[in-house]
Amino acid sequence: MPLGESERWEKTYSKFCGLETDFSDDVPSLLSFNIDNGRFDFVVAPLINPSYRPSLVDERDSDSHVLPFAGSDLVVSPLKWRLRVIGKISSWIDLDSEDETLRMNSETALKQEIAWAKHLSLRACLLPTPKGTSCANYARCVNQILQGKLEMEVIFLLSFTRTSLHQSLIFLLRSHSAMKLWLRIPLRKSNSEYPIDSWEIWNSLRLLCDHDSKLSVALDVGSTLPLPSKNSRGRWLGESVKAAIISTDCFVPIDGLPYLQKSHQDLIGSFFHGHAYLGAKGLTRSDSFITFIIISGIPLDDLQTDFGAQKHPHKPYLDYLSNLFEKMEPLSEQERIDFRHRDCLCTPLQPLRDNLEAHSYEMIERDSVKYTQYQRAIAKALVDMVSDEKASELTIVLMVVGAGRGPLVRASLQAAEETGRKLKVYAVEKNPNAVVTLHDLVKTRGWEGTVTVISRDMRFWNAPEKADILVSELLGSFGDNELSPECLDGAQRLLKPNGISIPFSYTSFLQPITSSKLYSDVKSRNNLSYFATAYSVKLHSVARLAPCEPVFTFTHPDLSRKPNNQCYKKLLFNVPSNTGSALVHGFAGYFEAILYDNVHISNEPTTETPNMNGWFPIFFPLMKPLEVHPKSTIEAHFWRCSDSTKVWYEWSVSLPTFSPIHNTNGSSYWIGL
């Protein structure tokens, strides 16, 4: 039974649960027993007999000797090799050993096994955990593989150079391969003298390999309790974890069945959560989002053993994980809509410079919670401005500046109807295409005499009368990043001296995060200018390393008469003592806004408005990731700059080390006035 299969899910659904197996030279039987009978999705199998050592091969027989591989490539179809087998590189390999024979054997064996795996077109290979604290030579060998430098070396190293496999192997090596490497890293690693943070092992190797996106983590979940702290475990959520290896030792037998303790359940649940999306035609899967689950080890003795000839001894573990997955809350409708946007870099909108298209309006207007909050704020403002006794006498002048296709006009009219107040509405919009829709709404909704459409930029429109209430939705992911301050500064002359602006104020927030996925995506663009660009991102595979800190606050109407909206803020973030070391790949940006009185909207994690989805966070990347340690302080600097044509941000770090100032003079990213 594929993991997660139940009446709720279509039969095409699978969460990709595999089993780590011993070496077998009978691959068809291995797959038949574990996949057809055991219902696992794949096996993690050694590619070569574990007794093999290159130095034991008689060089005189090298022309005819065939390495002890698990059968030829013909024993199963190419599709089965790719989808059903993850190659397991020999665990005896020690690439940093001080024993030169072992080190040379390890280098030769690694290259031979990787060459065979590429020949089979496997999608991934599981690399063994580095043996010591140093992994420089391990990283060098892996980096050669990642960079595709194997070809000529392998031709001379392979001891079956005149077999029938030779030509096809060389052809495969010369062609591009998308095979990934998963480095096996224990969740907790220690030796007899002092504890070692296993994250440090991973970090050392991936830094030496220059954050290659083809290198990921297979996190080996140990049975030792207690597990690392929640903050320490949380670091891995921002790393490229492609597999979670669960040993049978993690389970305890209860009534003859295996169970995970609560701490292990929570950990596995964090890898399950949100990695699957059930669409209209079944599961939509992407290797970018899947965390593979791998069961490893010998079944517990206390489990029920009456399996019969056709039963698999590891089947109870698969059934348990299936049930654990089924108990999770399914994705909401909005989460399903947002699924495809997870960790995808998008340049924020520029609504002042550009006229939005229909699909952009459609996405903005889909956020019903936001407009409900606006309606509440407008209703409160109407009640405060007009008493019940004068509700039938006074007419409030309300201007929606940046009216778009009219959602705030509707919210305003509904608030007036709800409170029994009278409104006169001006819908001011600079986009001539949206104005067409506004005029149609006036006709079809019966708004004549109540709503007047103005096809002008709010900053330059001379209104026939002043407004009691000025309503806008000019906020961006970072609050002010879509030029709400500049627009409302230009429009506040339309407001009466005692008038109300909705929103009243907004504050931006920043937070250091780990996100290997986002960093790799920016790096893959092969241009440093992309590291000086801010992106709108539906954050998912991230680790938040410290609480958010406020950055810039703007209030409307602004009576200070500042000549501009340039700002600077120095920010201090303290890494908790129980987090462990981590890499900062950049900063996540959010905002919180007071619409009116106690009505708020926010996408900041601790105050987030439930079910509001109109704004993804913003991401400010760092050119060079910043390594931080427990109890350390991150000192960051953010500037909001402007000139006569544009507004832009600049950012840098000065603790624990210095970074360049990003986006100087708005060279890569700016918002046009």
Annotated binding site for S-adenosyl-L-methionine: 361, 370-371, 429, 457-458
Strand partners, 215: 181
Closest to 160 measured CA to CA, from 48, 85, 50: 48
- Report how far residue 384's alpha carbon sits from residue 195's, in angstroms, rounded to the nearest whole number: 63
333 assigned to active site: no
- 344 burial (CB, 10 Å; 0-12 / 13-18 / 19+) is middle
Task: Count Cβ atoms below 10 Å from residue 442 Cβ, excluding itself.
Answer: 20
For residue 526, CA distances in Å to 26, 218, 513, 555, 660 come to: 44, 27, 22, 40, 18
> 284: part of which helix (H) or strand (E)?
strand 282-284
Going by C-beta distance under 8 Å and a sequence separation of 6 or more, which residues neighbour residue 378? 398, 411, 412, 415, 416, 469, 471, 502, 596
Closest to 502 measured CA to CA, from 460, 473, 477, 463: 473
Closest to 436 measured CA to CA, from 473, 404, 472: 404
Compute, in degrees rounded to 10, the torsion defined by CA atoms 534, 536, 539, 543: 10
- Report how far residue 419's alpha carbon sits from residue 199's, in angstroms, rounded to the nearest whole number: 58
Task: Count Cβ atoms below 10 Å from residue 633 Cβ, excluding itself.
Answer: 12
Closest to 407 measured CA to CA, from 422, 427, 388: 427
- Report how far residue 293's alpha carbon sits from residue 221's, in angstroms, rounded to the nearest whole number: 11
For residue 253, CA distances in Å to 223, 246, 261, 267, 647 come to: 14, 15, 11, 19, 62
Q: Which residues are annotated as a binding site?
A: 361, 370-371, 429, 457-458
- Let me know: does 438 contact 471? Beta carbons within 8 Å: no
- Report how far residue 45's alpha carbon sits from residue 31's, in angstroms, rounded to the nearest whole number: 10
Phi and psi at 544, nearest 5°, equal -90, 115
The pairs formed by 269-273 with CB atoms below 8 angstroms and a separation of 24 or more are: 269/324, 269/328, 270/233, 270/237, 271/241, 271/244, 272/15, 272/324, 272/325, 272/328, 273/328
Q: What is the largest CA-CA distance in the chain?
A: 107
Count CA atoms closer than 13 A to 445's CA, side-chain side: 17
Going by C-beta distance under 8 Å and a sequence separation of 6 or more, which residues neighbour residue 399? 425, 426, 428, 463, 467, 469, 470, 471, 491, 494
First to last CA, the chain: 58
Closest to 515 measured CA to CA, from 238, 214, 231, 215: 238
326 assigned to active site: no
Amino acid at 489: D
DSSP tag of 228:
P
- Report how far residue 637's alpha carbon sits from residue 197's, in angstroms, rounded to the nearest whole number: 30
Q: Which of 5, 20, 239, 482 is catalytic?
A: 482
Q: Which of 473, 486, 604, 650 is catalytic?
A: 473
Q: What are the structure tokens assigned to 203, written together? A: 């970090």
For residue 381, CA distances in Å to 109, 146, 389, 414, 484 come to: 74, 61, 16, 13, 21
Radius of gyration of the chain (CA): 30
The residues that are catalytic are: 473, 482
